[in-house]
Amino acid sequence: MQRVEAELFTDGGNDAVVRLPGRRFPGVLIQGDSLHTLRSDLAEVMEACERGELAEARESAGLLLADLDAILTRYAAALEEYGVPRPY
């Protein structure tokens, strides 16, 4: 393990925006339990598709998209606050 100093653009919550040394743009640090939840949510979408339950798949996908949109919105707001251009 290596210790480094990172720039913290938001509080240290489940989806903290941080920039590691040597990186031009910040990234999002997703805690392991939150990453597992995102993966489980996507697995639900896949399973519903495999069963042919498209309405259920669409609903689950919509919830997952909303979660990812919230993370992306937080990321964009943090970059804007510190005058960092978006990498996309």
**pLDDT at res. 13:** 84
In sign, the C-alpha dihedral spanning 69, 74, 79, 81 is positive
Tell me: pLDDT of 14 over 90: no
Match 């943090």 to its residue by tokens.
78
Helix/strand/coil (H/E/C) assignment for every residue in 9-58: CCCCCCEEEEECCCCCCCEEEECHHHHHHHHHHHHHHHHHHHCCCHHHHH
Its pTM stands at: 0.90
Mean pLDDT of 21-42: 96
- CA-nearest of 24, 10, 23 to 74 is 10
**pLDDT at res. 38:** 95
**pLDDT at res. 12:** 81
**pLDDT at res. 55:** 97
